[in-house]
Structure 1
Amino acid sequence: MSRDTSDRRSASRALSALALLALTAGAVTACSDRESASRHSASPSATSSASPRAGQAGGAKLHMIDNGGHRLAFHVTRGHGSTIVLDSGGGEDSSYWEDLVPELHGATGATVITYDRAGLGKSDVVPGPWKVKSAVSDLESGLQQLGVTEDVTLVSHSQAGGIATYFARDNPKMLSGAVLVDANLPPFFTDGEIARLVAFSGPQVDAAKKDPDDPRNRQLISTAESFVQTNKAYHKVTWPDSVPATVIVSEKTPFDGSPEDARRWRGAAASFVQDGPHRTLVTAKGSSHDVPKDRPDLVLEEIESMVAAQH
């Protein structure tokens, strides 16, 4: 084997490991200020108040929701008619959407909701392996307690694609549509791909265990603990035909520099769209996996189109 070939394979392995981080704990792109914010849960006495963070932007109000003994932060910008729920990727809290919320609210007039998943932002930490069904329960409980029961457009990035798929399966009548932004989709997680990701990410997971109190590391560790069984099950889940979905796939994908994995990622998006009615595939030209930051114009356009199409 030539040295050039060996170097390329090593680079591919490293990029695949980084991609797993992006798909699970968001450690590639999470910013230090988000990490700092994630170290603090809201005080037990908090119920609702004006939130000082955008995204949270403008007139957003903080609501602390209890579900099964832990509390979750939901940030609500009130509007009229429909509701847009923004769910960030692994390791990211609600502040990820802070620039998009006022744009969406102004363009659609809809209520816009962001939230912090367990262990992130102002939400309580839940010990143990990450469980997608628990995450779905948190979102369901939050929306129910906020009085949101119908006409929801769900926007999900990266790891939140798994939450969206189970949520749509269990609550199809609540959703009027979804925009899946370079999201984890069932066709991608074949046994072979799961094994590749686990093998490639081992060193990063081991490194994270040296500082488990870091919120991003905590998320990575908890997700890695359940990664195989979670995604083997997820591979078999189907999206309900009654819920329209726009799939935005990044041009570079989470696997920029690893052609085989990038091809599989794009193929999974195409397969998902072809497998059911009312589904559209859009490519975010020039974008990395971080589509909401690289191409906010495109994400805004596709959300607006989805909301408009249902009314």
Structure 2
Amino acid sequence: MKKLFQVILMLPWLGAAFAAEPATDTMVDVGSYKLHFHVIKGHGTPILFESGGGDDETVWHDLLPPLADLTQTTLIAYDRPGFGKSGLDTNRHSIKDNLDDLEKGLKALGYDGKLILVAHSLGGFYATLYAARHPDAVQGAVLVDANLVCFFTPEHVAANEQPNEALRMKFKDSRPGLSYLYGEITSTVALMRQTPFPTRIPLIDIVSDKTPFRNDADIQLWKSCHRQFADEANNRQGIVANDAGHYVYKANPALVINAIAKIYAATLPDRERLALLDRALGYNLDAANQARKQQAEYRHSEDDLNDWGYQLMARGEKQRAIDVFKLSVELHPASANVYDSLAESYEALGDKRQAIANYQHSLQLKPSNEHAKERLRVLQTAPN
């Protein structure tokens, strides 16, 4: 199972310059259920974070403290319906319904005015719809390997209908929020085709160098779609996050933080903007030093080998991927994840016996590994 490298920045100089208020967690009644918001209060245009599909607001927690110290503005992350601590209305679960309820929640908290949007993956669709509804309120956006509708061609949608339906049924009882997400993909894409991101809103579009896809056609379509989107307006900047996977803000948090700071700085008067740029200089000096240290620690770590193995699999070099995952198993024998990855590579090669053995070993180390459980169920029930 692919495990993404997570970086935590330590920025002591920022804390000395500005003490951000402690984060607060609030449940907001939006009618038939409650939405959970995680807020760090500050001063200036608030920044709203949209997470990817299947994620909750906790994915932003490492990014928010340094960003709060740098921008000194209000940061808002939340759980979409059916995820994290938020409730769910089983009769209203489309992206439009979700946006209606987000607007209610923001209004109740007093953040229904000007905003900056930051969105990852599926969150790109939510940010697009919000910006289309509030083109004058949204002051800027940063998209992080975000969903853009140009990627979801009719052919792509048709090819994924059956897999999405299988996933909808798989999570129907265990994770209803995720089940509805897969069930709504076709209708969501149809709505997004009618909802362009307003070109008047300045934005930075960051696309991963290592896309979340394994076949060349999807990889090229993802990258070309993002280039096309960035080229549609002069106030858009496209950035390729070199050597970063789908969770760019974990692999390269400094890049994402700087992009957000740049968009936010444009909303400030000259004196405050210069102060922010001065803080950003100090941040970047510290971040560069931390990155050097972390790269040294990361080299040939479990995460590094895991990423390397999946890159080989994506290129069709299955036997070489197995060799890399075997090395990872030798170096990290107590990790359930490395056995899961090795099993996945054996499964891709067609070696059912070795795949089953390694999935079983992964489960022995981590009985809660749902990926291993699901793959074992499929492999053990499939005909020989």
Range class of TM-score, shorter chain = 0.7 to 0.9
SS of residue matched to 1:114: strand
Tell me, yes or no, if structure 1 residue 281 matches structure 2 residue 238. Answer: yes
Normalising by structure 1, we get a TM-score of 0.76
Structure 1 residue identity aligned to 2:262:
S
1:103-143 deviations in Å (ceiling 9; x for gaps): 11000000111111111111112225741111211221222
Distance 1:115 1:202 in 2: 27
Tell me, yes or no, if structure 1 residue 250 matches structure 2 residue 203. Answer: no
| 2:288 equivalent in structure 1 | none
Q: CA deviation at 1:196?
A: 2.2
SS of residue matched to 2:233: coil
The counterpart of 2:126, out of the listed 163, 167, 179, is 163
How many aligned positions are there? 253
The counterpart of 1:62, out of the listed 17, 20, 25, is 25
| 2:74 equivalent in structure 1 | 111
Question: Which stretch of the first structure deviates more once superposed, 219-228 or 154-163?
Answer: 219-228
Q: Greater relative contact order (Cα 8 A, min sep 6): structure 1 or 2?
A: 1
Distance 2:131 2:3 in 1: 27
Report if aligned partners of 1:250, 1:291 keep a CA contact under 8 Å in 2: yes
SS of residue matched to 2:160: helix
| 1:140 equivalent in structure 2 | 103
Distance 2:203 2:235 in 1: 6
Q: Provide closer, same or farther for how the CA distance between residues 223 and 129 of structure 1 changes in structure 2, counting only shifts above 3 A.
A: farther
| 1:270 equivalent in structure 2 | 227
Q: CA deviation at 1:292?
A: 1.7
Q: In percent, how many aligned pairs have the same letter?
A: 35
| 1:34 equivalent in structure 2 | none
Runs of 4+ in 1 over 3 A off after TM superposition: 199-209
Tell me, yes or no, if structure 1 residue 305 matches structure 2 residue 262. Answer: yes
SS of residue matched to 1:299: helix
Distance 1:250 1:185 in 2: 13
Normalising by structure 2, we get a TM-score of 0.62
Tell me, yes or no, if structure 1 residue 237 matches structure 2 residue 200. Answer: no
Q: CA deviation at 1:253?
A: 1.2
| 1:177 equivalent in structure 2 | 140
SS of residue matched to 1:135: helix
Structure 1: unaligned runs, 5 residues or longer: 1-17, 19-27, 31-56
Report if aligned partners of 1:129, 1:223 keep a CA contact under 8 Å in 2: no
Larger Rg: 2
| 2:336 equivalent in structure 1 | none
Q: What is the correspondence of 1:1-311 to structure 2 with a 5 Å cutoff?
A: 59-127=22-90, 130-201=93-164, 203-209=166-172, 212-213=173-174, 215=175, 218-255=176-213, 257-311=214-268
Q: CA deviation at 1:208?
A: 3.6
Report if aligned partners of 1:194, 1:228 keep a CA contact under 8 Å in 2: yes
1:33-56 deviations in Å (ceiling 9; x for gaps): xxxxxxxxxxxxxxxxxxxxxxxx
Q: Provide closer, same or farther for how the CA distance between residues 260 and 117 of structure 1 changes in structure 2, counting only shifts above 3 A.
A: same
Q: CA deviation at 1:286?
A: 0.9
Aligned-residue Cα RMSD (Å) equals 2.2
Report if aligned partners of 2:88, 2:177 keep a CA contact under 8 Å in 1: no
Relative to its length, the structure with more strand (as a share) is 1
Structure 2: unaligned runs, 5 residues or longer: 5-19, 269-384
Structure 2 residue identity aligned to 1:145:
A
Report if aligned partners of 2:151, 2:225 keep a CA contact under 8 Å in 1: yes
SS of residue matched to 1:90: coil
Structure 1 residue identity aligned to 2:31:
G
SS of residue matched to 1:178: strand
Q: Provide closer, same or farther for how the CA distance between residues 182 and 270 of structure 1 changes in structure 2, counting only shifts above 3 A.
A: same
Relative to its length, the structure with more helix (as a share) is 2
SS of residue matched to 1:85: strand
| 1:54 equivalent in structure 2 | none
Q: CA deviation at 1:160?
A: 0.8
Distance 2:139 2:151 in 1: 25
Distance 1:293 1:181 in 2: 11
Structure 1 residue identity aligned to 2:63:
L
SS of residue matched to 1:276: coil
Distance 1:202 1:149 in 2: 35
